[in-house]
Amino acid sequence: MTVDDAAPGRAYEAPSEDGIFGMEPLIGRPKVYAHRGSSAAFAEHTRAAYLRALADGADGVECDVHLTRDQHVVLLHDANLDRTSNGTGPVGERSLAELRELDFSSWKGVRIPDAYGAISEQFLTLPELIDILRGAGREIGLAIEFKHPSPYQLKLEDRVLALLTERGWTPEESRLDNIQISFMSFNPDSVHHLLQVVPAEHICQLVDDVNVQEVRQELGLGALTGSAVANVMRQAQLEGEELLDESKVGIAGPGITYVRRHALKVQRWMESGRRFRVWTVDSEADVALCQGLGVHEITTNKPAQVLAQLATQ
């Protein structure tokens, strides 16, 4: 059975190295989260990307957070500035004021409509994203990913929770006005730390397979250092899988490639009642696969395209 053969809303049998399985159908369509905003359209994590995500009708948005030198929570994926700005060096060594002097959008090569703000307004802190979402005029999800390793270790989590609490967030419901908030990390230490405050239903353990070559290339590391880092990441992956095996968290967050490769493991987690949030799902085939499996939430760079596909199924 192929993705194209699967009827909308029906179980899909996905082959993998682990075997073959079928899932119960999902009632209704999956929720669609915009990955770093509508990041196929505009530079990731920018004001334009998030405003576009709201305009696209996304059910929620995802963001990655780091701490600055002066302990502000800012939205960036990488620990270094080089890829997504005209700056260089570690994010954690810059103050918020210094980061605001940089250009975080021009690298994308896309003109930003006036309604989405000037180039100087594209860089966002977490409080600024919350203000954008508060103005959505509807219910919206916010998935916050804690990026590790962080030079500030678990102070990152503490600062985010304190910031949210100051604005009226309560851990039991994990809501802030119209915003339903969940927390994510690949790092099991981060997840354990969050579980001391936040109910498990609002916490997502992210998992993915670790490829040594990809780690070396992404982080610009040599063979020995890259292998050492990959081994640490593999250990974190195993610990994260154990958290899901033991139902310690309420949300499973595998990558789409992981879903294909580990069918039986995914089936076991889903049958144990985990909510599934799969990333990064951009192709029509992957959207159909997720819907057929009964995945609850899809994270995508292209929310408008995914929503349009789901509307026809």
77 is annotated as an active-site residue: yes
Which among 249, 289, 297 has a CA at the least distance from the CA of 273?
Answer: 249
In angstroms, rounded to a whole number, what is the distance separating the alpha carbons of residues 111 and 42?
A: 8
Parallel, antiparallel, or unpaired for β 251-254 and 14-16? unpaired
Q: Which of 35, 66, 148, 262 is catalytic?
A: 35
**Of the residues 72, 77, 193, 296, which is catalytic?**
77
Q: Is the dihedral of CA 135, 136, 138, 140 positive or negative?
A: negative
296 is catalytic: no
Known catalytic residues are 35, 77
